[in-house]
Amino acid sequence: MIFPNAVVSTDCHIGDHSVINSGATISHDSLIGGYATINPGVHVAGNVSIGEGCYLGVGSSVIHGVSIGAWTVIGGGAVVPQDLPENVIAVGVPARVIKTKEEGLNERTTSRTGE
């Protein structure tokens, strides 16, 4: 789904069930995998690959030619100047991996059971 006021440039491929919110910009020759969420104010430069199920927070930016692995979360306002692996959470300027999703899941599971 591409919301009004979102801009998608030429030769882009948007996967099934992905959401491109208002005010987001996707530049030329970019690939957005299925089930991805691109929030308002996100800027994706040209020739970028965003994997399946990725979540890009409000106002984040992805620099030209970068690849982001599947199921990765990018924090709001982050700038991604380099490739990121799958299943990580990255924040900041420049974006740095702060956690893998497996670590986060283990921490939540542990805290719920009290172990």
Catalytic residue annotation: 28
Per DSSP, the three-state class of 98 is: strand
Residue 65 CB-half CA count within 13 A: 2
Instruction: Enter the tokens of residue 75.
Output: 């924090």
- Residue 105, burial from CB neighbour count under 10 angstroms (0-12, 13-18, 19+): exposed
- Residue 77, burial from CB neighbour count under 10 angstroms (0-12, 13-18, 19+): middle
* Omega prior to 81 cis, within 30 of 0: no
